């Protein structure tokens, strides 16, 4: 496969040489190595390109998944152990007011896979609907500030969906070509939906990329409240659903870039000076942060506002990663607001 000056995807780089042997291997869900790599085949420009159609794929195809995970996450897979600690939200530091004024919104989410089901590309129409029903039932039992309502995408008008996408509450409508060619959008929009609490600051995405993404969000520099609410939600959901957790890789997701904690903590922050200097990406990478446009991966900034999040997901605890993001954003704003 020719790339010109472009590096091959991690999937191509680590594809086992004895591919003929691997093509005959299947998981109990029927996943083959081809199912895992088909997005990378369609898109040679992929950075990773690898997807796990079911939880077993991580070990059944370990000769491919393990080196990809090691390089992407910069971890020693052989000695890796799943570590988790949600910490105490009240101990998060508040930012000075002039720093807080630069932050438009704060958002934290975790991805989870429900035990007993394959991931997106191996779900059939019927199993996807069964999974949606099970998650919907669990969500209906939440109470207090987490109580809310569930809506399937098939029940929503285009105007309703567009309004929620504009508010950054609902996911985009099957528009990621990499995910599409991995099989992530099969039967779209059947079996997909969204749960919202009454204040619209606790959201659960159902059957978008992962089985569920549990999200806590609100306007401003409000990480204490956002993280505290998410921790409460995680504990509540764990009493109602069992999630897939691996001894090495932690919580498993469809894309191996999200495994481990499954955590993405982000702020939309105004950093126009740093952006104009052309050094935003370099500064972020030095602090294990990832800059994106405000409408998600592969999008552009709007008005000097960027989405800044933790890049690392695995090998460290949730509490460590939350603090890494928060301290990093503070340092970024040190530079942005320097006289």
Is 292 catalytic? The answer is: yes
Which whole-number Å values give the CA distances from 167 to 8, 174, 200, 293, in the listed order? 36, 17, 10, 15
- Among residues 107, 112, 192, 213, which one is catalytic? 213
Task: Find the distance separating the first CA and the last CA of the chain, reported in whole Å.
Answer: 50
Kindly tell me the burial class for residue 208, based on how many C-beta atoms sit within 10 Å of its own C-beta (0-12, 13-18, 19 or more). Answer: buried
- Among residues 109, 128, 192, 313, which one is catalytic? 109
Query: What does the DSSP 8-state code read for residue 137?
Result: H
> Given the structure tokens 């052309």, which residue do they identify?
278
Is 297 catalytic? The answer is: yes
- The Cα 85–Cα 103 span in angstroms is 26
Is 257 catalytic? The answer is: yes
- The Cα 43–Cα 261 span in angstroms is 27
- Among residues 11, 255, 261, 313, which one is catalytic? 255
Is 264 catalytic? The answer is: yes
- Among residues 31, 257, 261, 324, which one is catalytic? 257
- Among residues 11, 36, 192, 209, which one is catalytic? 209
What count of other Cβ atoms lies within 10 Å of the Cβ of residue 173?
14
Is 213 catalytic? The answer is: yes
- The Cα 128–Cα 120 span in angstroms is 8
- The Cα 208–Cα 187 span in angstroms is 11
> Given the structure tokens 């420009």, which residue do they identify?
45
Contacts of 288 by beta carbon, 8 Å cutoff, 6+ apart = 310, 311, 312, 324, 328
- Among residues 107, 128, 192, 264, which one is catalytic? 264
Kindly tell me the burial class for residue 216, based on how many C-beta atoms sit within 10 Å of its own C-beta (0-12, 13-18, 19 or more). Answer: buried
Contacts of 79 by beta carbon, 8 Å cutoff, 6+ apart = none
Is 107 catalytic? The answer is: no
| Enzyme catalytic residues | 109, 209, 213, 255, 257, 264, 292, 297
């Amino acid at each position: 496969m020719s790339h010109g000056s472009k590096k091959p995807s991690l999937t191509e780089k680590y594809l086992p040489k004895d591919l003929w042997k691997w093509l005959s291997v299947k998981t109990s869900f029927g996943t083959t190595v081809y199912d895992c790599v088909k997005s990378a085949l369609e898109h040679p420009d992929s950075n990773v390109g690898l997807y796990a159609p079911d939880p077993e794929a991580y070990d059944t195809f370990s000769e491919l998944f393990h080196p990809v995970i090691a390089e992407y996450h910069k971890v020693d897979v052989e000695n890796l152990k799943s570590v988790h600690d949600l910490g105490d939200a009240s101990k998060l530091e508040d930012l000075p007011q002039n720093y807080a004024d630069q932050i438009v919104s704060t958002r934290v989410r975790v991805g989870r896979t429900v035990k007993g089901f394959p991931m997106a590309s191996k779900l059939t129409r019927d199993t996807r609907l069964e999974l949606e029903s099970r998650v919907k039932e669990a969500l209906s039992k939440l109470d207090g500030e987490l109580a809310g309502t569930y809506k399937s995408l098939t029940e929503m008008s285009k105007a309703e969906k567009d309004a929620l996408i504009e508010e950054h509450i609902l996911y985009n409508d099957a528009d990621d070509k990499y995910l599409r060619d991995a099989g992530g959008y099969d039967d779209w929009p059947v079996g997909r939906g969204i749960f919202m609490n009454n204040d619209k600051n606790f959201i659960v995405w159902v059957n978008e990329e992962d089985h569920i993404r549990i999200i806590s969000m609100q306007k401003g520099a409000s990480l204490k409240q956002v993280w505290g609410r998410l921790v409460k939600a995680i504990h509540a959901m764990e009493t109602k659903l069992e999630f897939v957790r691996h001894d090495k890789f932690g919580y498993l997701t469809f894309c191996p870039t999200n495994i481990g904690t499954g955590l993405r903590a982000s702020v939309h922050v105004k950093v126009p000076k740093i952006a104009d200097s052309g050094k935003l990406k370099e500064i972020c990478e030095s602090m294990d942060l990832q800059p994106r446009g405000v409408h998600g991966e592969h999008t552009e900034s709007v008005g000097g506002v960027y989405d800044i999040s933790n890049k690392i997901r695995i090998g460290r605890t949730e509490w460590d990663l939350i603090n890494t993001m928060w301290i990093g954003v503070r340092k970024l704003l040190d530079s942005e607001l320097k006289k």
